Amino acid sequence: MENIGALAILLAFCLGIYSVAASLVGAWKKKPFLIASGERAVIAVWALIMVATGILVYALVTSDFRFAYVASHSNRDMPWYYKVSSWWGGQEGSLLLWNFLLSWYGLVVVLQNRRKHRPMMPYVVATLMATQVFFLTLNAFPASPFQMLAQGRNIVEVPDGNGLNPLLQYWTMLIHPPILYLGYVGFVVPFAFALGSLITRQPGDQWIFTTRRWAIVTWFFQSTGILLGAGWSYAVLGWGGYWVWDPVENVSFLPWLTSTAFLHSVMMQEKKGMMKVWNMVLVAATFFLCIFGTFMTRSGIVASVHAFATSNIGNYFLVFLVLGIALTIYMILGRLDYLKSEAELESVVSRESSFLFNNLILLASCFATLWGTLFPVISEAVTGEKVSVDAPWFNRINIPIALFLLFLTGVGPLLAWRRVSAEGLKRNFKWPLLGSLLMMTGLAAAGIRHPYALITFGLCLFVGWTIGQEFYKGAGAIAKKESMNLMSGMVELTHRNTRRYGGYLVHMGIVIMFIGFAGAAFNRDTTVEVEQGRSFQLGRYDLKVTGVNSGQTDNYVWQNATIEASVEGKPYATLHPERRIYSQSQQPVGAVSIHRRLNEDLYINFAAISSEAQKPIIQAYIFPLVSWIWIGYWVLLIGSVVCLIPSKVKMSYARTEVVGMAGKHEKVAK
């Protein structure tokens, strides 16, 4: 069976190379049968990768410990669903997951575009398959998941495996890596269409419409993956945080920033024919940052709880990145005439300028985060001494950037295209600004003095007001005209322009998340060593340890504490934090207990039993407003889905075409 899996990967590798060659030669020589053959090779690659994946997953579920990968990342006592998640728990399996998802994306692109985008499809297929060949190279040669345990020339089987890393045995880890990879892997599709349009000099912006939808889908998966990772960190690692600017967290954040910038600036190209070079750069930057993030987690050059062990495959990634970036730069520079803007920025105070500033701020955050992530590596290479960049540095740089970005999120809907009059500015900004200033004044009077928190709450009201105002005005006009209630008017309004109003919902989700982020300014915590039956205080909570119990499952030995929480003498909640020692790895892992409320979370971690007094060591935290982060995600999800629904009314926009020094306006429909 193992030979079939390895052979399937090798055959897929060969067919991937054939698909690239057939597509390119077919396009250059105008041979339709070669182009069709290259596309059919994509389907064959998909089928072969399905076979290889099925064999590995079957070996994991059936505990076939002849496989080195199965012995390293699974054991007999693990539940079957954690055995399946062992697929992406190690280096070789996670690379196979990349190949698995990329083959599905390739299959969907080929089937969707059998009659569309024919001039550039050979180049789209060649780009997809070149990326597929790179990852198949890794699985076929340096990181094969089908290596067997051997003694001499004989294959052997160990009695049991090492098991999955205990930190990964949590429900979010069943879906976090695949969803995040769907975002990472998926951005090869917008990149492939962008490169195909460059090579063939496609007239118009048709490639943008296709790319935009793919970009929304992959951006949504990136957002979901990042939030699931934050939830895992919050609930599993025991320190109560959801983001610590860990290097691997950072490299997952970088392509999210650039893809967010692309989704905003692409509207400028659609409506005004502007920022064409910028959009090409953003698509390419997002794709290469996805590859760079994968390189960082696998090269061993950074230390992280998320990273894989040191290996030599980092060199493969470096070669791929250098060649890919060089080719992309060459193509963009060689097509600058094709990417010439059709219009110019007419006013600094306009919606166009707000999109431009939005992009610049997102890229500033991207650059700062990238620099801070790489600085320890650069400093060690230059001086021989690794200088670490800690979380406070990232916060000092990124918090002001994030607040300015939040402000622009509210400003955008208030500005008209081209230019805004002074009277229009006064009319649109008066009430949202006044409301946010009154809120900040009231919160300051109530005793909140943290400056960033005050500004965040004020900006959240400002942005929420502007978004609500947009819905209210449009829905009110429709409700009056169509004789319906306001809620029905909002549904109708959203359906008429799903992309615009779905985008507003996404922005509202981000606003709600910022409310949760602001709560971090008021976190409180204590660590105590306390006897059973004794109490300790944290904020308004009286916490009493009423018992410590222990037991054992097939997979681990556990010990938990029962803690009764009361407020002003009244029972509030019972929490059961737990410590586990996993049988195979002997690694201790905590299972925190969280009492979640909209205003704050009461978070308890059973850290240890003191060696001398045999008393439980309890870490207790109060985390205000954290639940709003997760609520914001659900609003973001709804908004993302709305963006993908076709609009009821096709919109037409004014495009400015520049001819010499003069300009003229013409209406063009999508």
The pTM of the full predicted model, rounded to 2 decimals, is: 0.91
Burial of 244 (0-12, 13-18, 19+ CB in 10 A): middle
Residues of 479-515 as b/e, b for ≥16 C-beta within 10 angstroms? beeeeeeeeebbebbbebbbbbbbbbbbbbbbbbbbb
**In a shared domain, residues 538 and 592:** yes
239 has a pLDDT exceeding 50: yes
Q: Give how many domains the chain has, as a whole number.
A: 3
**What is the pLDDT, as a whole number, of residue 311?**
66
Could you count the other beta carbons within 10 Å of the beta carbon of residue 517? 22
Q: How confident is the model at residue 662 (pLDDT cuts 50, 70, 90)?
A: very low
Among candidate residues 136, 164, 192, the one where a domain is terminated: 164
**In a shared domain, residues 116 and 79:** yes
**What is the pLDDT, as a whole number, of residue 428?**
77
**In a shared domain, residues 9 and 119:** yes
Residues β-bridged to residue 652: 669
**What is the pLDDT, as a whole number, of residue 208?**
80
**What is the pLDDT, as a whole number, of residue 302?**
64
pLDDT tens sequence across 133-143: 999 999 999 99
Residue 36's contacts (CB-CB under 8 Å, 6 or more residues apart) are 26
**In a shared domain, residues 422 and 560:** no
User: What tokens appear for 645 in the block?
Assistant: 């629904």
**What is the pLDDT, as a whole number, of residue 121?**
95
- What would the mean pLDDT of 518-529 be, rounded to a whole number? 94
376 has a pLDDT exceeding 90: no
- Residue 411 has φ and ψ, to the nearest 5°, of -70, -40
Q: How confident is the model at residue 601 (pLDDT cuts 50, 70, 90)?
A: very high
20 has a pLDDT exceeding 70: yes
In the DSSP assignment, the letter for residue 31 is -
Q: How confident is the model at residue 667 (pLDDT cuts 50, 70, 90)?
A: very low
Residues β-bridged to residue 589: 580
Confirm whether 254 is domain-assigned.
no
Q: What is the rounded distance in angstroms from the CA atom of residue 409 to the CA atom of residue 114? A: 39
pLDDT tens sequence across 156-174: 989 999 988 888 888 988 9
Residue 545 and residue 563 in contact, taking contact as beta carbons nearer than 8 Å = yes
Confirm whether 317 is domain-assigned.
no
Q: What is the rounded distance in angstroms from the CA atom of residue 546 to the CA atom of residue 561? A: 8
Q: What is the rounded distance in angstroms from the CA atom of residue 101 to the CA atom of residue 218? A: 12
Q: Regarding predicted confidence, which is higher, 665 or 511?
A: 511
**In a shared domain, residues 89 and 154:** yes
Closest C-alpha to 516, from 398, 636, 627: 627
- The whole domain housing 30 covers 1-164
Among candidate residues 143, 164, 185, the one where a domain is terminated: 164
User: What tokens appear for 232 in the block?
Assistant: 């895992």
Q: What is the rounded distance in angstroms from the CA atom of residue 106 to the CA atom of residue 600? A: 45
Confirm whether 397 is domain-assigned.
no
Least confident of 12-21, 343-352, 429-438: 343-352
**In a shared domain, residues 547 and 663:** no
- What would the mean pLDDT of 250-264 be, rounded to a whole number? 94
Q: How confident is the model at residue 661 (pLDDT cuts 50, 70, 90)?
A: very low
Q: Regarding predicted confidence, which is higher, 292 or 272?
A: 292
pLDDT tens sequence across 568-593: 989 999 999 999 888 877 788 888 99
130 has a pLDDT exceeding 80: yes
Confirm whether 359 is domain-assigned.
no
**In a shared domain, residues 506 and 637:** yes
User: What tokens appear for 177 in the block?
Assistant: 């890596």
Q: At what angle do helices 314-334 and 121-140 cross, to 10 degrees?
A: 170
**In a shared domain, residues 505 and 648:** yes
Confirm whether 267 is domain-assigned.
no
**What is the pLDDT, as a whole number, of residue 217?**
94
**What is the pLDDT, as a whole number, of residue 88?**
93
Confirm whether 132 is domain-assigned.
yes
371 has a pLDDT exceeding 90: yes
User: What tokens appear for 329 in the block?
Assistant: 């730069």
**In a shared domain, residues 420 and 431:** yes
Q: How confident is the model at residue 655 (pLDDT cuts 50, 70, 90)?
A: very low
Q: How confident is the model at residue 656 (pLDDT cuts 50, 70, 90)?
A: very low
Confirm whether 401 is domain-assigned.
no
Residues of 99-133 as b/e, b for ≥16 C-beta within 10 angstroms? bbbbbbbbbebbeebeeebeebbbbbbbbbbbbbb
Token pair 């004989």: residue? 154
Q: Regarding predicted confidence, which is higher, 273 or 20?
A: 20
What does pLDDT average to over the chain?
A: 88
**What is the pLDDT, as a whole number, of residue 437?**
94
Among candidate residues 133, 164, 195, the one where a domain is terminated: 164
419 has a pLDDT exceeding 80: no
Q: What is the rounded distance in angstroms from the CA atom of residue 486 to the CA atom of residue 479? A: 6
Closest C-alpha to 630, from 507, 516, 506: 516
**What is the pLDDT, as a whole number, of residue 664?**
35
**In a shared domain, residues 602 and 475:** no
pLDDT tens sequence across 260-269: 999 988 888 8
**In a shared domain, residues 504 and 589:** no
pLDDT tens sequence across 196-211: 999 998 876 677 878 8
- What would the mean pLDDT of 441-459 be, rounded to a whole number? 93
Confirm whether 326 is domain-assigned.
no
**In a shared domain, residues 612 and 495:** no
